[in-house]
Amino acid sequence: MSQKDDFSIHFIGGGNMASAMIGGLLRHGFLAKQLTVVDPDPNVVQRHQASGLNGSHLFEAPTNEPDMVIWAVKPQSFKAACTPVAPHTRQALHLSVAAGLTTDALSSWLGTERIVRAMPNTPALIGLGQAGLYARPAVSLLDKERINQVMHAIGQSIWVPRETDLDAVTAISGSGPAYVFYFLEAMMDAAQRMGLSAQTATQLAVGTFEGATALAKASSEPPGVLRERVTSKGGTTFAALEHMRAHQLNEHFVQALMAARHRAEEMGKELGSQ
Ligand SMILES: NC(=O)c1ccc[n+]([C@@H]2O[C@H](COP(=O)([O-])OP(=O)(O)OC[C@H]3O[C@@H](n4cnc5c(N)ncnc54)[C@H](OP(=O)(O)O)[C@@H]3O)[C@@H](O)[C@H]2O)c1
């Protein structure tokens, strides 16, 4: 029997992120009977029960303490959600996907040190997420292996050595999909101003991002070299990139991401002191 057949998981919160994780876990060989969902909304509970999971709208002390608890509630609901759960899950490994809440706050609310914090992003909803993970020192190698198995269900993950690195992860990949959508919108806007239809604009912009990111992933060359390969001096790409350079687009973009990291730091302080 593989490890994934061995451990039980309780989800606290059964909304978007929990549903994405549960769907991925079931596709990756976890069994519905290993998974329990607690959510105050009876419709949410019913939906998960229809997939064969155990579900309840109220946390009830389990006969056997779960091996893992996954916290998928909004940050502002977290502290209140801990009250009924914490006394019955002190031996469990805890994984939080809640944005901004530090493991110091979680540890004091849950009464345990075995806590991992994840910062996923929205492509996790289709199994293509990119997450950052941070573990408190009490988390063992086996614990980390189990977290890897779970996170694999919603895409790729990377461990960071310091919890403060998660603020940078939030700025880069957590908020990152919004930057990509922003550039897609700008490309589509330009295409339509050049007289192309909305449908053509969407296909050209989305298809270009898809192809270029796949090329960057498949290539051994860094993105800068790939960019230079499509930029002949005096050509069309050169004209566009010179315009961007003259307006310091790169520096503005870097500063925008610094602003996102600063906000992540501020939010961590605000949420931790609730
Ligand atoms: N969605 C994303 O792409 C994404 C990305 C990165 C991080 N996250 C993080 O993931 C977490 C969940 O986000 P989400 O988008 O999945 O939110 P969501 O769809 O609103 O799901 C949260 C669920 O938790 C339920 N809940 C509230 N209080 C509870 C309690 N005491 N016990 C059990 N369940 C409770 C909510 O019920 P009610 O609605 O009835 O209150 C809701 O069904 C958040 O902390 C967010 O920061 C999400």
**17 and 152, same domain (yes or no):** yes
Domain range for residue 126?
Answer: 3-160
**238 and 117, same domain (yes or no):** no
3-state secondary structure of 10: strand
b/e map 206-215, b = 16+ CB within 10 Å: eeeeeeeeee
Is residue 85 packed enough to be buried (19+ CB in 10 Å), middle (13-18) or exposed (0-12)?
buried
**219 and 261, same domain (yes or no):** yes
Q: Is the pTM of this model over 0.75?
A: yes
User: 210 alpha carbon to ligand 1 midpoint, in Å?
Assistant: 29
What is the tally of structural domains in the chain? Answer: 2
Query: Half-sphere exposure (CA, 13 Å, Cβ side) for 250?
Result: 6
CATH number at residue 248: 1.10.3730.10
Q: Whose CA is nearest to atom 2 of ligand 1?
A: 122
**16 and 136, same domain (yes or no):** yes
Is residue 169 domain-resident? Answer: no
Task: Among 10, 11, 16, name the best residue to mutate to test ligand 1's pocket (greatest count of ligand atoms within 8 A of Cβ).
Answer: 16
State the DSSP H helix or E strand holding residue 125, giving kind and residue range, or none if neither: none
**154 and 185, same domain (yes or no):** no
**132 and 195, same domain (yes or no):** no
**105 and 52, same domain (yes or no):** yes
**147 and 47, same domain (yes or no):** yes
Q: What is the pLDDT along the chain (274 residues), one digit of tens a residue?
A: 444 557 999 999 999 999 999 999 999 999 999 999 999 999 999 999 999 999 999 888 888 899 999 999 999 999 999 999 999 999 999 999 998 899 999 999 999 999 999 999 999 989 999 999 999 999 999 999 999 999 999 999 999 999 999 999 999 999 999 999 999 999 999 999 999 999 999 999 999 999 999 999 999 999 999 999 999 999 999 999 999 999 999 999 999 999 999 999 998 888 776 6
